[in-house]
Amino acid sequence: MDSEREPKSQTLNRQGSLYSLTLDEVQTHLVGSGKALGSMNLDELLKSVCSVEANQQQQQQQEDLSLSRQGSLTLPRDLSKKTVEEVWKDIQHNNTNGAQERRDNNNSNNNNKQATLGEMTLEDLLLKAGVVTETVTGGNGLGENNIPQAAGPWVQYHQLPSMMPQGQSFMPYPPVGDMQGAMVSQSSLLMGGDTQTTPGRKRVASGEVVEKTVERKQKRMIKNRESAARSRARKQVTANCLAEDRVCVAFSLWCVLTLGVVMMMDEQAYTQELEIKVSRLEAENERLRRQKEVEKILPSAPPPDPKRQQLRRTSSAPF
Amino acid sequence: MAASVDPLVVGRVIGDVLDMYIPTANMSVYVGPKHITNGCQIKPSAAVNPPRVTISGNSDELYTLVMTDPDAPSPSEPNMREWVHWIVVDIPGGTNPSKGKEILPYTEPRPPVGIHRYILVLFRQRSPVGLMVQLPPSRANFSTRMFAGHLDLGLPVATVYFNAQKEPASRRR
């Protein structure tokens, strides 16, 4: 694995290109499909992100993505349970309780691959990204999550036969100094016919030879199994890192899309208000125009009587 | 479905060397230009010099760093578990090991057989260690757990590990 040859900057660039690829995809889908953001097929978007990532992964083998993580990824429970429309409702109505019904509806849509963005919860998104997230719980993810989860595989692992040869065929080794030197001296001792605990083959009856052979085969098999288990563990560590990265990408994608939808809905609401105002003004305008027409046709109403009477009285006063 | 994704558990660092703990500090480790993430692969020739480690924390806190290999001499027969590579104490928080006291000098990874894990463990000290520390009699058969017990270090606050295996001879020279 020549992964360490790659300079840090290149790793960062690759991470950046994954991110910018995501935004480009968003743009492409928005412009190309001509659909409103709320009805975009998120499934395709996710798949394209994951497939590009997989291709890059194959090229670089087990390159890490330079995201250092020393704890588990914890998503705020409130956020992960909400759909985009729920978020919008919260903003509009300033309440956080309206989500129950919609959440129930969404659970039944989990398997619907044509789910639109509005129906897809963050958890759906993460599940589709191929990451197991059902263990995510809110609050202090680190402490409470790690301990019960880790107990599982730990116990399972210890059920494997443990091969810790105690005082078997190795002579005492030099306490301090080069470990490689120590290893060489051990193997040379073995090959040189160490007689401390391993009986020489040629000096024993054939029955015991068979027994020793069987024993050696069994030990070999156990060692192979353990080596395979270690190899799988190494692969699992890398796979989990990649899975966590996918969660991060999916989450940021969700944030971007939610923001977009919220902004769009915001704009729609404003436009609607404007339109209502415009139609009111138009109606008002129309009304005033008709009134003006009417006034042109009919003469204006005569001045009220009290004024005329006043004039007459004035003129008749001096007589 | 309850599979842990914590690389320290999957990679058996927790279990073979450490007990389960809650990380409360950050440690970033670089070997050459490469930033170390758990389980990544490093060439021994790249780790000839001590890794560059930066730790979090306040300057009035003191930390201990231990670098250890539990897979000595080989992961299938780790009779020398653990082989301790580096011990630095009294590192002030927010700094790096060069600001601490190196009580066991760094030796580079030289895995003779198999793929070894090289684990850097960070502890938060309760008090300055200084001269109180006893040098281990040998690098072999070191126990990080026991060492932490002797110095009353408690559980780790951060851990990072990488894998390394012997390089083909033709490359080294």
In chain B, which among 7-36 make CB contacts under 8 A with chain A?
Answer: 7, 9-12, 14-15, 20, 22-23, 26-28, 30-36
Contact present, B61 and B90 (Cβ < 8 Å): no
Q: Which residue of A has its CA nearest to B110?
A: A180
Residue A28: per-residue pLDDT: 52
Interchain proximity B73–A186, CB inside 8 Å:
yes
CA-atom Rg of chain A in angstroms: 39
Higher-pLDDT residue of A313 and A114 is A313
**Do residues B167 and B41 touch, judged by C-beta distance below 8 A?**
no
pLDDT band, very low/low/confident/very high, at A69 (cuts 50, 70, 90): very low
Residue A290 CB-density burial (10 A; 0-12 exposed, 13-18 middle, 19+ buried): exposed
**A146 with B28: Cβ contact below 8 A:** no
CB-CB neighbors (< 8 A) of B139 in chain A: 176, 179
- The confidence score (pLDDT) of residue B81 equals 93
Q: Which of B34, B40, B137 sits opposite A8 (nearest CB)?
A: B34
- Residue contact A165–B77, C-beta within 8 A: yes
Does A179 touch chain B if contact means CB atoms closer than 8 Å? yes
pLDDT tens-digit series, residues A271-294: 999 999 999 999 999 999 999 999
Average pLDDT score, chain B: 93
Which residue out of B1, B8, B10 would a mutagenesis test of the A interface target, given it has the greatest number of A Cβ atoms within 10 Å? B10
pLDDT band at A210 (very low <50, low <70, confident <90, very high): confident
- Given this model, what pLDDT does residue A252 score? 86
Q: Which of A159, A174, A233 is nearest to B73 (CA)?
A: A174
ipTM field: 0.87
- Return d(Cα A155, Cα A171) in angstroms, integer: 33
- Average pLDDT value for residue range A253-279: 90
The CA distance from B135 to B142, in Å, is: 11
> Is A148's Cβ below 8 Å from some Cβ in B?
yes
Taking only residues 103 to 142 of chain A, the set having a beta carbon closer than 8 angstroms to any beta carbon of chain B reads: 132, 134-135, 142
Q: What is the pLDDT of residue A229?
A: 95
Pairing, β B83-92 against β B62-69 = antiparallel
Cβ contacts (< 8 Å) between B115 and chain A: which residues?
Answer: 230, 234
In chain A, pLDDT over 70 holds for what percent of residues?
29
Among partner residues B14, B37, B75, which is closest to A241 by beta-carbon distance? B37
Which tokens hold the place of B38? Answer: 């758990």
Contact status, residue B44 vs residue B111, Cβ threshold 8 Å: yes
Distance of residue A179 Cα from the nearest chain B Cα, in angstroms = 7
CB atoms near residue A237 (< 10 Å) = 27
Q: Is the minimum CB–CB distance between A240 and chain B shorter than 8 Å?
A: yes
For residue B34, the chain A residue with the least C-alpha distance is A8
Ramachandran area for residue A75 (φ above 0: left; ψ -120 to 50: alpha; else beta): beta
Q: What is the mean pLDDT of residues A53-70?
A: 45
- For residues A105 and A86, what is the distance between their CA atoms, to the nearest angstrom? 12
pLDDT band at residue B17, thresholds of 50, 70 and 90?
Answer: very high
Q: Is B155 on the interface with A (CB under 8 A)?
A: no
State the average pLDDT for chain A.
59
